[in-house]
Amino acid sequence: MFMRKTFCSVKPVPILLALACAATFFTSCATDSGDAVSRNAQGLQLPQEKNPDLLDAGKRKAIAEEALAKIDSQFPGLGQVRTSPLNQLRIRDICILPNDDGLYYLVAFGGARTADGQFGRGFVTYVSEDLEQWRGPYPAFIPKEGTFWRIHDFWAPELHCWKGNYYIFGTTGDDSHRGTQIFRSTSGNPAGPYEPVTPRPVTPEDWMCLDGTLYVDEAGDPWMVFCHEWVQVTDGTICAARLSDDFTHLEGEPILLFHGSDGPNNHPDPGKDNYVTDGAYLFREDGQLKMIWSGYDNGAYNLWLAVSESGKLQGPWKQIAKPLYTKDGGHGMHFVTFEGKHKIVLHAPNRDSRAVLLDCDGKAVQP
């Protein structure tokens, strides 16, 4: 898979990175809009806004320990769940969600044992109190043979909140058909377990799609932004379609946001004519709507930034020429810790990947 996402000065790693450290992926699964100071791309509060006790380290630890006990009860039969440092997790397509129960939740694709002792592949979750040590993997969604439409590809999971519950937007399929499918937590907890909202992906049936993400517009309506894959259209695209409120289907035809060839430094591999588009992720900063996406340059995975000139999802989208990350790592996302620090998580290198957590600060580079 080809990967992705955000824009900051990074310490201490000396890499070219200008990832947008706006308030982009704070999460409290509140159902009302309120008047919170900080909002993410889905209009949600910072966890510490919903629960001020999270600002006190001692109180947060007590809250987190109670949450950990609850998570273990949601996965009976797993036995002892191991704890590992983040940089030892062989995972990719990583998303971290800070939650108002004092825990950080990580979702990725990988393998895990289920309650019956069987090992399978799918979407897995980990939990942490401090971003350093992670408990897991928990089998968020590990389908058994014959119970799911495809058991080959499980890519690019993202955790999102919508109307009081948690959802995974994940890519499923194989080389004959791929799409973004949506999964709902059956426990009401980000760790899962999850079940499919629909039997198959909600992206167009006859399209090869991947890396769907949730965007909620100014009216509070949900959209899926996703990639129409280069393997089918050669010049990959990033598209958007209005989602039904119950996440069961797209409402109306997808709209084209831009082509991979619109990226000024997004180049095909030598001798090829394909333009990769991967991993769109949207956020607002300084009154602007911005999007991070990924492609390739000289065979290395790169990270790019686009800005909506209208401030709306429909664009037009202006591509920023300077690449944001050029060290063959990506599929990143941005979040804010309980202490208010901006972080980026990504996987690197693009092959044999590990989770990488970077500190960042500053403003996005302006177009």
Reported as a single tens digit per residue, the pLDDT across 268-305 is: 877 788 999 998 888 777 778 888 888 888 888 887 88
User: What confidence tens digit (pLDDT) does each residue in 252-278 have?
Assistant: 999 999 999 999 888 887 778 899 999
**Residues 191, 139: Cα–Cα separation, whole Å:** 9
Q: Which residues of 131-145 are buried (b: 16+ CB within 10 A; e: fewer)?
A: beebbbbbbbbbbee
Q: What is the pTM of this model?
A: 0.86
Question: Which residues neighbour 117 within 8 Å (Cβ) at sequence distance 6 or greater?
Answer: 77
Q: Does position 210 have pLDDT exceeding 90, yes or no?
A: yes
Mean pLDDT across the chain: 82
Interval 133-139 mean pLDDT? 93
Q: What is the pLDDT of residue 266?
A: 87
Task: Give the pairing type, strands 83-85 and 133-141.
Answer: antiparallel
pLDDT over 70, % of the chain: 83
Interval 117-123 mean pLDDT? 78
Domain positions in the chain: 9-361
**Residues 106, 16: Cα–Cα separation, whole Å:** 25
Strand order in the sheet with 237-243: 209-216, 222-228, 237-243, 250-259
The amino acid present at 110, given as its one-letter code, is G
User: CA 154 → CA 148, 157, 232, 294, distances in Å?
Assistant: 12, 8, 19, 19
**Residues 321, 325: Cα–Cα separation, whole Å:** 12
Determine contact, residues 291/317, Cβ cutoff 8 Å: yes
pLDDT tier at 125, thresholds 50, 70, 90:
very high
Summary count for the chain: helices (H), strands (E): 3, 21
Backbone angles phi and psi of 123, in degrees to 5: -105, 135
**Residues 116, 187: Cα–Cα separation, whole Å:** 19
Q: Does position 193 have pLDDT exceeding 70, yes or no?
A: yes
**Lowest-pLDDT range, 18-32, 33-47, 175-189?**
18-32
Collapsing DSSP to helix, strand or coil, 34 comes out as coil
Most distant CA atoms of the chain, gap in Å = 58
**Residues 225, 238: Cα–Cα separation, whole Å:** 7
User: What confidence tens digit (pLDDT) does each residue in 60-91 have?
Assistant: 999 999 999 899 888 887 766 889 999 888 88
**Residues 30, 46: Cα–Cα separation, whole Å:** 10
Q: What is the pLDDT of residue 265?
A: 85
**Residue with more model confidence, 361 or 178:** 178
**Residues 356, 354: Cα–Cα separation, whole Å:** 6
Q: What is the pLDDT of residue 29?
A: 61
Determine contact, residues 207/228, Cβ cutoff 8 Å: yes
Nearest by Cα to 102 from 72, 133, 53, 64: 64
9-361: in CATH 2.115.10.20:
yes
DSSP string, 289-301: EEEEEEEEETTEE
* Strands (DSSP E) found in 5-132: 9-11, 83-85, 92-98, 104-113, 119-128
Interval 134-145 mean pLDDT? 90
Strand order in the sheet with 194-196: 153-162, 165-174, 177-185, 194-196
User: What confidence tens digit (pLDDT) does each residue in 90-111 have?
Assistant: 888 888 999 999 999 999 988 7
Determine contact, residues 140/76, Cβ cutoff 8 Å: no
